[in-house]
Structure 1
């Protein structure tokens, strides 16, 4: 079932477009040398935005104050517009009954878009 939902997400759920947005943010972060860690997080989230079903985001227990400070910088640079993209897309998808699972997947991506560092993407059991 996860595979079918991921394929439908990729085609109809704007997974490809959202992954492109994350990839674009990652490329921008790689242009400025100091923000390379943000670029790595952005590319990781691009993969998650491409195939969200069957995965979840968990907090890393080893994340410290440096990730919190970096997350504030991320929020200013790229996080707010990526999260806004998820919210707008999720609302639009929830307007139809068929799109509700895709809208929920978009809302699940909002916290990761706002605060990506100190989190990891893991497969659901």
Structure 2
């Protein structure tokens, strides 16, 4: 079932959302000081392509620099990407088959707003994996 949902997701929402994250990642990597944001953006782009069967887990050991970085991300990229998730979720909710896709889209908003200090893991292994 996960594979079927992922394929449908890829066609209707995944490619466009991943493209937005890739563009944000490229811009962040061009501006050398924001390379950590670019890496996080590329990681979320892969999650946006194939989200079913994976989940986001917060790092309990992330510190003050992660919080400051998340605030900077929120202002410059996170808000726009979250709006992209909302805009993509609305038409998905129109059809019955799109409702799970819309819900998955809304579940991605927290990681799009605050990507630093988050890991994307398999849903079967929701514990925080060792480094």
Q: Which bin holds the TM-score, normalised by the shorter protein?
A: over 0.9
Distance in structure 1 (CA, Å) of the matches to 2:97 and 2:3: 17
Query: Does 1:115 find its partner at 2:108?
Result: no
Distance in structure 1 (CA, Å) of the matches to 2:60 and 2:112: 19
SS in 2 for 1:28: helix
SS in 1 for 2:60: coil
Distance in structure 1 (CA, Å) of the matches to 2:95 and 2:110: 23
1:49 CA displacement: 0.3
Gap runs ≥5 in structure 2: 125-131
Q: 1:29: which partner in 2? A: 28
Gap runs ≥5 in structure 1: none
4+ runs of 1 displaced by more than 4 Å?
A: none
TM-score, normalised on structure 1?
Answer: 0.97
Distance in structure 2 (CA, Å) of the matches to 1:97 and 1:2: 17
Distance in structure 1 (CA, Å) of the matches to 2:91 and 2:64: 36
Distance in structure 2 (CA, Å) of the matches to 1:112 and 1:31: 22
Q: 1:8: which partner in 2? A: 8
1:8 CA displacement: 1.0
> RMSD of the TM alignment (CA)?
0.7
Q: 2:56: which partner in 1? A: 57
